[in-house]
Amino acid sequence: MPSESFVTFENLHEVRRLCHWGPVIALSVIAVCSSMAILDSIIWYWPLDTTGGSINFIMLINWTVLILYNYFNAMFVGPGYIPLGWKPENQQDYQYLQFCRVCQGYKAPRSHHCRKCNRCVMKMDHHCPWINNCCGHQNHAYFTSFLLLAPLGCSHAAIIFIMTMYTQLYERISFGWSTVKIDMSAVRRFQPLMPFSVPAFAATLFALGLALGTTIAVGMLFFIQMKVILRNKTSIEAWIEEKAKDRIQYYQTEEEFIFPYDLGSRWQNFKQVFTWSGTPKGDGIEWPVHPKCHQHTLTIEQLKQKADKRVRSVQYRAVEDYNGACCPLSKGVHTFFRTPCTEEPRIPLSKGDTILATRGTKWWMYGDKVLREEQMKGTNFFIVHYYFLLFFSDRLNNPAIRSQQ
């Protein structure tokens, strides 16, 4: 059975991805908009009477099928993972790659470790909560197609909702000198097959709000994705490129950083992701690169940025216990309401723990936790290279963590 098949016996366990708030909300919005659009189409434009009604109804069904097809493929096909314990064939390439201690292997070019999936993901763009999976090499086209089809389908549904309410309320509205009355019980000249009652009006209005909101929100995500795809980048790589320019400018190294995967043509970049077969080009490990670059141009830049981050890190000592809660109410109302909007895990801290903070905000910090000797049993490294969110109190006279001089 081909690897791009919808759901195979080998990956039926992936159905558990549906048990998450992201897919529940996304599928609920699709169900509400689709079902209400079908019902309103019967009221407004009965499909068996005219050719236009038939075309309208068939298009509506096609939108729903295509949206669900791409959504479930993006979720269940997945991004593609680097094999556990992977190593490059040439041992000299080890020095250009980062080693993942969780997967016990090297990170191939363009791959990143996802803490939610607990695997190194091929050409990782981001972890999307709406599909409860990563967007990467294998499912980038499916995910982007979903982002395109969802606004188109919702726009069509919104037109149906508006026309249904307009045609059904036109003869029911009476205007007075100071009032506007809507008589939902009034008999129309041509009574539709299904009655348009007050609950139907409320449901249509609610579905219209969902459709318009989805069109705007998902449409913006589509343009963001297409912007990076046409440059043959991912969202993470765009951030790496920006940091590379900042690093060169800060240290005045006079380096010339060229993004290695931009093939110089938007059409060529587009074809790297979208193919007629649905399977993207490449094996997810080796990539076509710019003539002035090589396979490890970006990984070398990542190593430089990692080293620079360690140089800039500031050592802190925890002076209060922190249980790793997402919204720690015990640490103050300000911190509770300013928790970062991310699913990144929070690592519990004990009083006296040492951390190396790399960046942060007024209320939270990112950094690496330093293990004590008794915590290092069974390990051969001193610092846990693991991003975490660390609580930072707003009260200077009682901080949760304090700079260690």
- Which residues are tagged catalytic? 128
CA-nearest of 35, 47, 58, 40 to 194 is 40
Run of H or E residues at 60: helix 51-76
Strands 126-128 and 119-121 turn out to be unpaired
CA-nearest of 393, 396, 398, 387 to 115 is 387
Q: Cβ neighbours of residue 182 under 8 Å, at least 6 residues apart?
A: 169, 172, 173
> Phi and psi at residue 81, in whole multiples of 5°?
-120, 145
Strands 314-318 and 401-403 turn out to be antiparallel
CA-nearest of 307, 326, 397, 390 to 353 is 390
The strand pairing partners of 182, in sequence order, are: 173
Sign of CA dihedral 266, 270, 276, 279: positive
Report the distance separating Cα 44 and Cα 177, nearest Å: 30
What 8-state DSSP symbol labels residue 348? P
Q: Is residue 381 within 8 Å of residue 364, measured between CB atoms?
A: no
Cα 347 from chain centroid (whole Å): 23
Report the distance separating Cα 204 and Cα 292, nearest Å: 57
Run of H or E residues at 370: strand 364-370
